[in-house]
Amino acid sequence: MQKLLKLLVVMMIFVLGFTGFAANNIAEAKAGKKFTDKLVKCVDGDTAYFKKAGKSRFLYVDTPESTNKIEAYGKTASKYTCNKLKSAKKIQLQYDGTKKDKYGRTLVWVWVDGKLLQKLLVQKGYVKKFYDYGTYSYESELVKLQKKAQKDKVGLWSKKKESVTIATTNKTNFKNCTELRKYYPNGVPKSHKAYQAKMDRDKDGYACER
């Protein structure tokens, strides 16, 4: 009887251990395997072009606008993201479920030198909201960090709000990108009234982007 009980206990430990191991593996594997990629160009706080992934939208985070409609902390978030990507020795991307959004952009988690860029953006207070079209691997962690950023009053949540100075014009025909960027610092998409094909040198549907 004692031998039988011992055998049952060992089996239970094995089953529970295996279940826990499997659950952890499923959680870790959900987001997919990381792969190394190279930056082609940075667009704004949550969008960039990569060599393998193409035009990519960062999963789950939504930073303030910095192109057509410039919002507070939009330029700051854009500058922060671009600096991180350009200075990174190693960039890794990670898929998590659906690979493309309705605009054809690749959806990715972005890692710069081993750190999750979305996490860094949230901690800085540069994420105004989350777009929740599903359950993502790092969602709960980012939500907690967002609450902390709000509590600590950093970035968008600070008492000292960033002022936004926007040059306005009704002009649509600019001579060159230097002139256009005085009003649209990060360039314009093909749908914008100021877009000109001659300023879209790489023919990606975005003129004068930095």
Residues identified as active-site: 57, 65, 105
The DSSP secondary structure of 27-76, one letter per residue, reads HHHTT---EEE-EEEEEETTEEEETTTEEEEESSEEPPP-SSS--TTHHH
**Neighbouring residues of 52: CB distance < 8 A, sequence distance ≥ 6:** 35, 37, 38, 93
- Cα-Cα-Cα-Cα dihedral sign, residues 32, 38, 42, 45: positive
* Contact indicator for 176, 182 with CB cutoff of 8 Å: no
The alpha helices in the chain, defined as continuous H runs, are 2-29, 74-87, 117-124, 139-152, 177-180
Which two structure tokens, joined as six digits, stand for 87? 């200075």
Q: Return phi, psi of residue 35, to 5°.
A: -135, 145
**Is the Cα dihedral 105, 106, 108, 112 positive or negative?**
negative
